Amino acid sequence: MSPLMIGALLCIVTIIILAAGVPVAFALALVGVGFLVIFEGVGSLDIVAETMFSSISHFTLVSIPMFILMGAAVASSPAAKDLYEALDRWLYKVPGGLIISNLGACSIFSALSGSSPATCAAIGKMGIPEMRARGYPASLATGAIAAGGTLGILIPPSITMIVYGIATETSIGRLFLAGLVPGFMLTALFMAWALYTAKRNGYSFADQARSYTLHDKLEVLPRVVPFMLVIIGILYVLYGGIATPSEAAGVGAMMCVMLAVVIYKIRDFRRLWDMLSASMKESVMILMIIAASELFSFTLSSLYITQSVAELIVNMDVNRWVLLGMINLFLLVAGFFLPPVAVILMTAPILLPIIQSAGFDPYWFAVVFTINMEIGLITPPVGLNLYVINSICKDVSLPTILKGSLPFVLCMVLAIVILAVFPEIALWLPDAVMGPEIK
């Protein structure tokens, strides 16, 4: 059997096992071990433990649980409520200002938490009922939050960018910088659509029945600004070469926990324990996926599947933009069924050499890759953000949420096109701050 046929069989088996509801980490490990034993013999089991352990022994991985803890500290506090309230008070006179306030809150809270589901849950619990109460349709209210939550994997500090950096051996600091401007550009596209649809449907000024004084606008800022300063500080020490990602993540986590204790008086042991417990569970889940994906990738390489796929794509001799379109389509489909971390670990090491041989920048590709993963978060059948929103608004059906999300999906596709035409949007900031990378 040829490597490509084995690869096709492996993909089919993987999809079947995942569709059966087996957790991603266990599914990848099961398929990896099974195909190694079938095609390499029982002796191949000797390297399973070593392969999985070596994949999670990198010191850089310490930053993942630390950033998750930082996000948990923010998510467990009323910071999201204060952030939402602050933006609402400043933007209430803007046409469609409530939608824009929610999207802005999503983008900022995403940077604070680094988690798309957490952003959807935190902002959605407050924003969706408020938007619906003021006359916005359920589809737009839920779709805006579902899409806004996806920004958590693009705007730094981003767990998926860390995983991409580890999988492809690229600079995490440069990846963070590459995602910053495209993240705000995507937020601006979301807001532009919200503004347009608000005016078109005649509820542009539905938010102007209220009035806030300057004192009202400034009142909530002292509770929000400290958390934002922590994020700015983390980015500064990372890009200034003062600290490694792991060191910055550790300090950031400690600062956010301290701020939650001091500002919001979260001093109850039970709440602190729940925060640490949730962080531990999510960290273990991600690290298990990383270990299982490494074993899966080892199987692909050992059976010469990775090399054969790469050779097939290279020998197609197509225009590099056609190649990029094919890769984007592949990533979109993969994102429909798998979480971003799993897709990155399984495909990035294979795709990166192909992308570089076609003349594309690896950091630019990381941003395009991540936007594709964002689309997967709000599209079925997995569409994690859709289910998070549905759990918040049980009276709104999944098709209604999906209908409201689709225009934002088109905004993401437009963002990929803009980045393809103007790659400097993603590359100028890393080069300006850290200098051009030595090839």
pLDDT tens for 84-120 read 778 777 777 776 677 888 888 888 877 777 677 778 8
Residue 181 to residue 46: CA distance in whole angstroms: 46
Domain ranges of the chain: 59-290+306-434
Instruction: Give buried/exposed letters for 363-378 (b at 16+ CB in 10 A, else e).
Output: bbbbbbbbbbbbbbbb
Query: 131 falls in which pLDDT band (50, 70, 90)?
Result: confident
Which one-letter amino acid corresponds to residue 384?
L
Give me the chain's average pLDDT, please.
83
Please say if the pLDDT value at position 384 is more than 80: no
CB 390 within 8 A of CB 401: yes
Instruction: Give buried/exposed letters for 139-170 (b at 16+ CB in 10 A, else e).
Output: bbbbbbbbbbbbbbbbbbbbbbbbbbbbbbeb
CB 374 within 8 A of CB 330: no
> CA geometry: angle at 183 spanning 178 and 187, to 5°?
165
Please say if the pLDDT value at position 382 is more than 70: no
- Tell me the average pLDDT across 215-239: 80
CB 141 within 8 A of CB 197: no
- Residues contacting residue 37 through CB under 8 Å, at least 6 positions apart: 44, 45
- Tell me the average pLDDT across 385-399: 84
CB 123 within 8 A of CB 388: no
Residue 220 to residue 218: CA distance in whole angstroms: 6
For 236, 244, 245, 256, 351, the CA distances from 251, given in Å and listed in that order, are: 13, 11, 10, 9, 34
**Residue 51, token pair as written in the block:** 């392969």
Residue 204 has what pLDDT? Answer: 53
- Tell me the average pLDDT across 214-218: 81
Residue 419 has what pLDDT? Answer: 95
R_g (Cα) of the chain, nearest Å: 22
- Residues contacting residue 193 through CB under 8 Å, at least 6 positions apart: 407, 408, 411
Q: Based on the number of CB atoms within 10 Å of its own CB, is 309 exposed (0-12), middle (13-18) or buried (19 or more)? A: middle
The backbone torsions φ and ψ at residue 158, rounded to the nearest 5 degrees and listed phi first, read -120, 125
Query: 361 falls in which pLDDT band (50, 70, 90)?
Result: very high
The backbone torsions φ and ψ at residue 108, rounded to the nearest 5 degrees and listed phi first, read -75, -45
Which one-letter amino acid corresponds to residue 431?
D
**Enclosing H/E stretch for 1:** none
Query: 182 falls in which pLDDT band (50, 70, 90)?
Result: very high
**Residue 124, token pair as written in the block:** 């959605």
Please say if the pLDDT value at position 423 is more than 60: yes
DSSP state of 42: G
Residue 320 to residue 327: CA distance in whole angstroms: 10
CB 371 within 8 A of CB 418: no
